[in-house]
Amino acid sequence: MKIFHLTSSQHYFYNLLRRADIIVDGSQPWDIRVKNPKLFDRVMAQGTLALGESYMDGWWECEALDQFFYKIMRHGLYKTVCYTPATIRNTINALINNRQNRVRAIDVGRKHYDKDNLLFRLMLDKHMVYSCGYWQNSENLDEAQEAKLDLICRKLHLKPGMRLLDIGCGWGSLLKFAAENYGVEGVGITISREQVDLGRKLCSGLPVQIHQQDYRDLEGTFDAVVSVGMFEHVGYKNYQTFMEVVSNCLDENGLFFLHTIAGNRAARVCDPWFDKYIFPNGMLPSPGQLASAVEEQFIIEDWHNFGIHYDRTLMAWHDNFRRNWPKLKENYDEKFYRMWSYYLLCLAGCFRARYLQVWQVILSPKGRKEGYSSIRCQDCPV
């Protein structure tokens, strides 16, 4: 909805935020407190990029950032954001170039996943799982992530002696769990050097190999393939290639488990602030984009919306990050603290508002003759 006859950007945003019960300089936890009066001019000119950067610069505060973003997304205020120079530039770039080609693909590894492993050790659970936990019957983050790992193994019908390929394996948490609890042999790939080094140590003594490798260079045949939290970095121009690579690596009787954050509508780029500071060259698939990539490659056996569990996961990560900040601040400054908090709490609010989803999709090359029974709980029979 457009607001006409605006006297100032301040007037515009005061009225806009009020539609979501957000009062500028109000007393509610989700209200924002403005420290620099130039904030609204900056956001008017540069959109969400300026909103995040101005928070990093200390131009505004909010006691409950997660609720602030929940209200913005739930009330659809994101629809009022106009195209900004950053959005236009990134969109044109995505149309002309392959932003996730072999050269660009390593950017996110270097800028995000290669951060000091201490940050992730202190923020994540004991298994070091950097994706959505499963909270159905879990009381804490450790339990939620272990339940998720077990659910994945059960959905893949893993059995002793099977060979499992993990595309985007992180620090090897799933491969380690599957080897220890389901007796499989595993191969994992990641573009992060730091993840490879630590992952090999964590999986030492197990039949698990971890390599620094682009998915386009994969070879060999596996009984099952899994990819958790990596498809967000593939890019729409490479979806078909990704599916072809998986198809070539998967035994004709095997299953492919895809776990990815997703959007409700098609896009070619992610938010400019997230693109610049958190996940460079990332983008989230839509239902149509994923379905199109799967056509003629796989049969969809199951499609599970897992997104309601990510809000609680992100809040648990932020709580760990906040509590452990005294151990981290020697390596990071206050601006990083604000950036990382903004990242985690913004996403928590987006998942809470159901603006973002998480899908767990089970695919088979030719369709299982015996069919596939959907598994949604730890006690469900396989």
Per residue of the chain (382 residues), give pLDDT as tens.
344 443 478 999 999 999 999 999 999 999 999 999 999 999 988 999 999 999 999 999 999 999 999 999 999 998 776 566 777 777 777 677 777 878 777 888 888 888 889 999 999 999 999 999 999 999 999 999 999 999 999 999 999 999 999 999 999 999 999 999 999 999 999 999 999 999 999 999 999 999 999 999 999 999 999 999 999 999 999 999 999 999 999 999 999 999 999 999 888 778 999 999 999 999 999 999 999 999 989 999 999 999 999 999 999 999 999 999 999 999 999 999 999 999 999 999 999 999 999 999 999 999 998 899 999 876 666 5
| Structure tokens given for 152 | 């994945």
Taking a C-beta distance cutoff of 8 angstroms, is the pair 288, 63 a contact?
no
Q: How many angstroms separate the CA atoms of 182 and 231, rounded?
A: 25
Cβ atoms of 158 and 164 within 8 Å: the answer is yes
285: left (phi over 0), alpha (psi -120 to 50) or beta: beta
CB atoms within 10 A of CB 33: 12
Tallying the residues shown for the chain, one arrives at 382
**Residue 137, Cβ density class (10 Å: 0-12 exposed, 13-18 middle, ≥19 buried):** exposed
For residue 57, which amino acid is it? D
Of residues 250, 187, 252, the one with CA closest to residue 224: 250
Smallest CA-to-CA distance from 78 within 218, 223, 264 is with 264
Residue 89 is predicted with a pLDDT of: 76
Q: What angle do CA 344, 32, 47 make, to 5 degrees?
A: 70
pLDDT of residue 381: 63
- For the question of whether the overall pTM of this predicted structure is more than 0.75, the answer is yes
| Bridge partners of residue 333, in order along the sequence | none
